[in-house]
Amino acid sequence: MAINWTEAQIEQIVKSVMGAMNTTGSDAITYDATSYCGRKFIGIFETMEEAIAASEEGYRAIRSMRVEDREKLITSIRDFCREEAPIMGRLGVAETKMGRADHKTAKHRLVADKTPGTEDIVSAVKTGDNGLTLTEMAPFGVVGSITPSTNPSETVICNSIGMIAAGNGVVFNPHPNAIATSNYAVDLVNRAVYAAGGPRVLVASVVKPTLDTANVMYKHPSIRLLVCTGGPGVVRSVLSSGKKAIGAGAGNPPVIVDDTADIKKAARDIIDGCTFDNNLPCIAEKEVFAFDSIADKLIEGMKKAGSLLITREQADALAEVVMTEVTAKDGSRKKIINRDCVGRDAAVILAKIGIKVGPEIRCILCEVPFEHLFVQTELMMPILPVVRVKNIDEAIELAVKAEHGCRHTAHMHSKNIDHLTRFARAVETTIFVKNAPSYAGIGFGGEGHTTFTIAGPTGEGITSARSFTRLRRCVMVDNFRII
């Protein structure tokens, strides 16, 4: 594929790369919602209205593009994303204080390599005695997307690839705690699109995202589809917006390990999955239900894979630190997660209860009863509670309860097909991973495409370009058949 660059485009690319490389030679990076190391972002606006107007203009510009040319925009986004993955990995950690730069870099490369493009948009034809009917996947126009703090730039780029491949413009209302990282990704998409012959701004965002800017997005007549990726609050809010909405919500993925599993492998896989980006991914293993007969061996394996087993007393002390008591709207007291501990290294979390460990400890392991807060709460920290169970009936019953009906993700290590099938049927999750780390479920070492917007509540599942289209039908009666 040959791209004919204009001089302005070449100048823009050079500027972006220089800015992205942080040529100051120091490790210090400077960033805010509108710039990175002195380079001003493209597509970031003071108001949501301006951001929507800009993406609408971009959408109009790509409407007349051939699909072949739209695919060139996608190829360019993939290239930029691959190239700048380490920068976004570091920036994400620096800004949010969550996760691991190397894992975030890997997540961006996964997005670049395995997010479907225009090949996902396919047409259907029906012919019969009355002629021909064609069904095509058409864009909505401008999509409004709300993105999380846990995978900020990954979600912006992954959604952009799918939404642009479907022919849409996009406006983002990112998480305020990850605004620089998210807006970096918005800028990256615009730079990549422009470099491949697209409009100057196709995706847009705001300087200061708030609930008010989200509401402008919900009500604006130009926004025809809302896509929200986050916890239960935002999914509820977007689903009551009165607009077509895709909701990708919270999970609390359980893992069952039965007595037929390859225990050593299961232990390694679970710790690899649970500690990936310090447990930030919504699909990551959050609690283990282990058959009593293999639990000791499993825990030994997990310790060898880089976990520290703490006592029940230490686990309770840790719960006091990683959870905070607040007053709910109805006046009752409830415990919520302490944001300062989310996505932190195991060593940082353990230090809060006076336990010092080195970086070789990547997971905090504890044996607790089913009712424990660690089992019941989506912690998003490298803390893994293990609950002993007698048999498969108890394992499935408790694992389904711990998933809290999110129907998001569940995992199982077993060679017993009946057990695997029974759990998959009972838990009804969007993703079910057998005998592998959780990230296999989003295409990392597993088959299938990737996404960072897993739409369980609204049913689109592992979203891709086609999720962001509307179906349109064209009918020709008594003609266009060749038989």
Question: Per-residue b/e over 214-230, b at no fewer than 16 CB within 10 Å?
Answer: bebbbebebbbbbbbbb
Nearer to ligand NAD, 422 or 449 (CB): 449
Give the whole-angstrom CA distance, residue 433 versus residue 424. Answer: 9
Question: Considering the complex, what minimum distance in angstroms separates the CB of residue 211 from ligand NAD?
Answer: 5
Nearer to ligand NAD, 268 or 466 (CB): 466
- Region binding ligand NAD by CB under 6 A among candidate stretches 246-254, 258-266, 315-323, 394-402: 246-254
Question: Considering the complex, what minimum distance in angstroms separates the CB of residue 74 from ligand NAD?
Answer: 21
Question: Per-residue b/e over 26-58, b at no fewer than 16 CB within 10 Å?
Answer: eeeeebebbbbbebebbbbbeebeebbbbbbbb
> Residue 384: what are its φ and ψ, rounded to 5°?
-125, 110
Contact 231, 212 (CB under 8 A): no
Count the residues of the shown chain that bind ligand NAD, applying the rule CB under 6 A.
26
- Nearest by Cα to 89 from 107, 115, 111: 107
Output DSSP code: residue 126.
E
- Region binding ligand NAD by CB under 6 A among candidate stretches 66-74, 131-139, 435-443, 447-455: 447-455
Contact 308, 355 (CB under 8 A): yes
Residues 6+ away with beta carbon under 8 Å from 238: 146, 218, 226, 228, 245, 247
Question: Considering the complex, what minimum distance in angstroms separates the CB of residue 24 from ligand NAD?
Answer: 30
Nearer to ligand NAD, 203 or 389 (CB): 203
Nearer to ligand NAD, 70 or 107 (CB): 107
* Partners of 144 in beta bridges: 171, 226
Is residue 58 at the binding interface for ligand NAD, with CB under 6 A as the rule?
no
* Partners of 383 in beta bridges: 364
Nearer to ligand NAD, 48 or 202 (CB): 48
Question: Considering the complex, what minimum distance in angstroms separates the CB of residue 344 from ligand NAD?
Answer: 14
Give the whole-angstrom CA distance, residue 189 versus residue 187. Answer: 5
Is residue 431 at the binding interface for ligand NAD, with CB under 6 A as the rule?
no
Is residue 298 at the binding interface for ligand NAD, with CB under 6 A as the rule?
no
Instruction: Give the residue closest to ligand NAD by C-beta.
Output: 230
Question: Considering the complex, what minimum distance in angstroms separates the CB of residue 59 from ligand NAD?
Answer: 22
3-class secondary structure per residue, 157-173: HHHHHHHHHCCCEEEEE
3-class secondary structure per residue, 339-358: HHHCCCCHHHHHHCCCCCCC
Give the whole-angstrom CA distance, residue 54 versus residue 70. Answer: 18
Question: Considering the complex, what minimum distance in angstroms separates the CB of residue 154 from ligand NAD?
Answer: 9
Nearer to ligand NAD, 146 or 364 (CB): 146
Question: For ligand NAD, which residue of 151, 414, 429, 458 counts as binding (CB under 6 A)?
Answer: 151
Token pair 């951001």 is found at 51
- Nearest by Cα to 192 from 32, 57, 66, 42: 42
Q: Which amino acid is at 60?
A: R
Question: For ligand NAD, which residue of 197, 231, 446, 461 counts as binding (CB under 6 A)?
Answer: 231
- Region binding ligand NAD by CB under 6 A among candidate stretches 140-148, 284-292, 293-301, 432-440: 140-148
- Region binding ligand NAD by CB under 6 A among candidate stretches 121-129, 228-236, 259-267, 308-316: 228-236
Nearer to ligand NAD, 12 or 183 (CB): 183
Tell me the two tokens of residue 433: 């991973």
Question: Binding pattern to ligand NAD, positions 169-208, x when CB under 6 A?
Answer: -----xxx--------------------------------
- Region binding ligand NAD by CB under 6 A among candidate stretches 143-151, 183-191, 197-205, 343-351: 143-151
- Region binding ligand NAD by CB under 6 A among candidate stretches 61-69, 141-149, 322-330, 367-375: 141-149
Is residue 67 at the binding interface for ligand NAD, with CB under 6 A as the rule?
no
Contact 209, 178 (CB under 8 A): no
Contact 383, 374 (CB under 8 A): yes
Question: For ligand NAD, which residue of 454, 460, 465, 469 counts as binding (CB under 6 A)?
Answer: 454
Contact 105, 85 (CB under 8 A): yes
- Sites of contact with ligand NAD (CB under 6 A): 146-151, 174-176, 211, 214, 229-231, 233-234, 237, 248-251, 282, 378, 452-454
